Amino acid sequence: MGLQELWFFLIAALFLGFLVLEGFDFGVGMLMAPLSMVGEGDSETRRRAALNTIGPVWDANEVWLITAGASMFAAFPNGYATVFSALYLPLLAILFGMILRIVGIEWRGKGDDPRWRGWADAGIAIGSWLPAILWGVAFAILLRGLPIDADHRVHLSIGDVLNAYTLLGGLATASLFALYGSVFIALKTAGPVREDAFRFARVLSAPVIVFAGGFGLWTQLAHGKVWTWLALGAAVVALLSAVALMWARRREGWAFVSTVVVVAAVAVLLFGSLYPNLLPSTLNPDWSITIYNGSSTDYTLKIMSWASLTLLPLIIGYQAWTYWVFRSRITADAIPASIGLSRRSS
């Protein structure tokens, strides 16, 4: 395996880490409001129970994306430059959403006031739904390709960004992440919130199978390679077993593992289908941006390889330890009063 191939693999792995970890963060953010409106108990404590399941970990999960982006810059600058400038508006919307989400999560508990929390919740909802949809759209755009000319400049029209395939991609990631979030909440809570998370997972199972299954099949048929059938097969089997376990209302730990496999297998399918392109050209395959014409020098790639191959195991180790430290389930009953300042005291 050459350095370019290694770096395609590593960037795919970083994006896989991002989708696997941040996927349930997005899902929890997407379901926070709906979960608070059903079932028994105070809606505010239910929201907080959901939010605190990702409390200690969401920030670090997001760094997988930042590192994936920076690694793409370092390893394939031509690809980074073309992809990021071509996807200007989707990325702008993703950034907008993620900014709202970060400040929404961090600032929500800083005021004990329903109106304040309403604004924070709106930020968390927008910041979770928007990226959850748009990452699917963005990956679909990348797989489908863009009109790239011989000089690696993109001549974009609206149809390249918005079409049936990219919209299906958006629905696929959004429904998948919502299911993933409900499984995670079932795993991390106890009591009524957990019961409702099972209900949500059951309601979501049909859309996920239709959208994610449809998108996976379309991707495989239109862009896939022979071996990516394996990834698609693994995704389908894992998805069906996760859904079955959620319908049976038990073994949410295994359901979670299955959903992890689904998201990981979808990432493998996407990047496997893309390989060795970073961004295929719809005008002429020779004009595609590949890992070969878009890469950094071997010297840079070697330094980067040493750094990431030694640091990533350490990073995975201490992140895993965080999940171990905060392994307890959360119940809405155990949520203490808000520690934010009330309106009066300002």
Partner 1 sequence: MDVLDVSRWQFGITTVYHFIFVPLTIGLAPLIAAMQTAWLATGNTAWYRLTRFFGKLFLINFAIGVATGIVQEFQFGMNWSEYSRFVGDIFGAPLAFEGLIAFFFESTFIGLWIFGWSRLPRLLHLACIWIVAIAVNVSAYFIIAANSFMQHPVGTRFNPQTGRAELVDFGALLTNNTAIWAFLHAVTGSLLTAGAFVAGVSAWLMVRSHKRAEAEGDARSMYRPATIVGSLVALAAAVGLFFTGDIQGKLMFEQQPMKMASAESLCHTETNPDFSILTVGTQNNCDSVTRVIDVPYVLPYLAEGKLDGVTLAGVKDLQQQYQERFGPGDYRPNLFVTYWAFRAMIGLLLIPVAFALIALWMTRRGRIPDQRWLGWLGLITIPTPFLANSAGWVFTEMGRQPWVVVPNPTGDPMVRLTVTQGVSDHAAGMVLFSLGVFTLLYGVLAVIWFWLIRRYVVEGPLEHDSEPAPPRPPHEDDVKPLSFAY
Q: Select the span of 80-88, 158-166, 204-212, 241-249 touching partner 1 (CB under 8 A).
A: 80-88
Q: How far is the CB of 345 from partner 1 (least distance, A)?
A: 6
First to last CA, the chain: 62
CA distance 64 to 42: 34
CA distance 328 to 175: 27
Chain center to CA of 63: 12
Q: How many residues does the chain have?
A: 346
Site for partner 1 contains 292 (CB under 8 A): no
| Closer residue to partner 1 (CB): 226 or 344 | 344
Residue showing tokens 């896939």: 224
| Closer residue to partner 1 (CB): 51 or 246 | 51
Q: Select the span of 162-170, 233-241, 269-277, 305-313 touching partner 1 (CB under 8 A).
A: 305-313
Omega of the bond leading into 276 within 30 degrees of 0 (cis): yes
| Closer residue to partner 1 (CB): 75 or 269 | 75
Q: What pairs with residue 330 in β-bridges?
A: 189
Q: Could you give the residue ranges of the DSSP H alpha helices within the chain?
A: 3-37, 43-54, 58-75, 77-86, 88-108, 114-144, 158-161, 164-188, 192-223, 228-247, 252-274, 298-325
# chain residues binding partner 1, by CB under 8 A: 78
Site for partner 1 contains 346 (CB under 8 A): yes
Q: How far is the CB of 79 from partner 1 (least distance, A)?
A: 9
Contact by Cβ (8 Å): 193, 39: yes
Q: How far is the CB of 71 from partner 1 (least distance, A)?
A: 5
| Closer residue to partner 1 (CB): 88 or 247 | 88
Q: Count of alpha carbons within 13 Å of 340, Cβ hemisphere only?
A: 18
Q: Select the span of 162-170, 227-235, 260-268, 324-332 touching partner 1 (CB under 8 A).
A: 324-332
Backbone angles phi, psi at 149, to 5 degrees: -90, -175
The site map against partner 1 for 85-124 (x = CB under 8 A) is x--xx-xx--xx-xxx-xx-xxxxxxx-------------
Question: Considering only residues 175-214, where is the footprint of partner 1 by CB under 8 A?
Answer: 190
Site for partner 1 contains 75 (CB under 8 A): yes
Q: 84, 229, 247, 292: which one contacts partner 1 (CB under 8 A)?
A: 84
